[in-house]
Amino acid sequence: MMRKKIVAGNWKMNCNLEEGQKLTSEIVNMIRDERSKDVTVVLNPPYVHLLSVKKLIGDIPGLSVGGQNCSDKDSGAYTGEVSAKMLASFGATYVIIGHSERREHFKEDNKELTDKVKQALNNDLTPIFCCGESLDIREAGTHEVFVKEQLSESLFGLNDADFARLVIAYEPIWAIGTGKTASSDQAQEMHAAIREHIASQYGQPIANTIPILYGGSCKPENAEEIFSKSDVDGGLIGGASLKSRDFMDIIQSF
């Protein structure tokens, strides 16, 4: 089964305008020169960069722009919020939903995330839905149950056609920004469990088409090993996506 391979860069709250443009231009140039493989690359800068990033990447095939979040509401008096419809109007085609930093610092819960996913889908954005356990949960051995519950609670109300449009990112919280990566076997084990869980609800054919990305201290040094696993379809890259050479090397790791 050929699934879409995706490497998405999550810039988080980094880069001023000049830095963002420089980083994007470097990536665009490298992709023009070097990329031969069939990998979809998504840049997820802070909202304020969307337009300049979109202009710089233009219509290069396989290179897309996405948001890091969107509102669970359509429009209206929600000061500081940005809607999925706005993201789409700026040329975004992806949006990260439910990143653990959003869950932790902004108290996003599984129910609110359902509404965000629906907003994204209604506006033709592909949600990159994040899940993953804390260190406590990993050490208690309940990580699979926890992650499955995150998925069921937020996503299992979707119909088959909508579910089939999702990308899932498994990001163990203990590996994010810590330099401590899950081993490729730990990643494979969880990705397989996620796919099996999806199959139990939506059937194997849909489960087989959903890209499941790994995130958490993914670097050029470990990407090849992690991406070689059968249920790992790419990565959601934080720190290393801010260095064009590292990001490109990760893209080339397939």
**Which residues are annotated as catalytic?**
99, 171
Provide, rounded to whole angstroms, the least separation between the CB of residue 178 and ligand PGA. 7
Provide, rounded to whole angstroms, the least separation between the CB of residue 187 and ligand PGA. 13
Helix-, strand-, coil-residue percentages of the chain, each rounded to 5: 50, 15, 35
Q: Which pairs with CB-CB distance under 8 Å and at least 24 residues apart come from 158-163?
A: 158/117, 158/118, 158/121, 160/202, 160/203, 160/206, 162/118, 162/121, 163/198, 163/202, 163/206, 163/210
Tokens of 86: 């706005």
Closer residue to ligand PGA, CB minimum distance, 68 or 83: 68
Tokens of 42: 């998504």
Stretch in the footprint of ligand PGA (CB under 6 A) among 22-30, 67-75, 143-151, 214-222: 214-222
Q: Which residue from 217, 222, 244, 253 is in contact with ligand PGA, where contact means CB under 6 A?
A: 217
Q: Which residue from 98, 132, 215, 234 is in contact with ligand PGA, where contact means CB under 6 A?
A: 215
Provide, rounded to whole angstroms, the least separation between the CB of residue 63 and ligand PGA. 19
Tokens of 148: 């499955």
Instruction: Please tell me whether residue 10 binds ligand PGA under the rule CB under 6 A.
Output: yes
Largest CA distance in the chain: 47
The amino acid sitting at 108 is E
Instruction: Please tell me whether residue 177 binds ligand PGA under the rule CB under 6 A.
Output: yes
Q: Which residue from 216, 232, 234, 246 is in contact with ligand PGA, where contact means CB under 6 A?
A: 216
Beta strands, E only, 36-180: 39-44, 63-67, 94-97, 126-131, 167-170
Closer residue to ligand PGA, CB minimum distance, 88 or 131: 131
What are the residues whose beta carbons fall under 8 Å from the beta carbon of 67, sequence distance 6 or more?
Answer: 44, 47, 50, 82, 84, 87, 92, 94, 95, 96, 125
Instruction: Please tell me whether residue 132 binds ligand PGA under the rule CB under 6 A.
Output: no
Instruction: Please tell me whether residue 66 binds ligand PGA under the rule CB under 6 A.
Output: no
By rule CB under 6 A, what string of x and - marks binding of each residue 156-175 to ligand PGA?
A: ---------------x----
Closer residue to ligand PGA, CB minimum distance, 114 or 222: 222
Query: Considering CB under 6 A, how many residues would be counted as binding ligand PGA?
Result: 13
Are 147 and 196 a contacting pair, CB within 8 Å? no
Provide, rounded to whole angstroms, the least separation between the CB of residue 200 and ligand PGA. 27
Tokens of 220: 């050029």
The residues binding ligand PGA (CB under 6 A) are 10, 171, 176-177, 215-218, 236-240
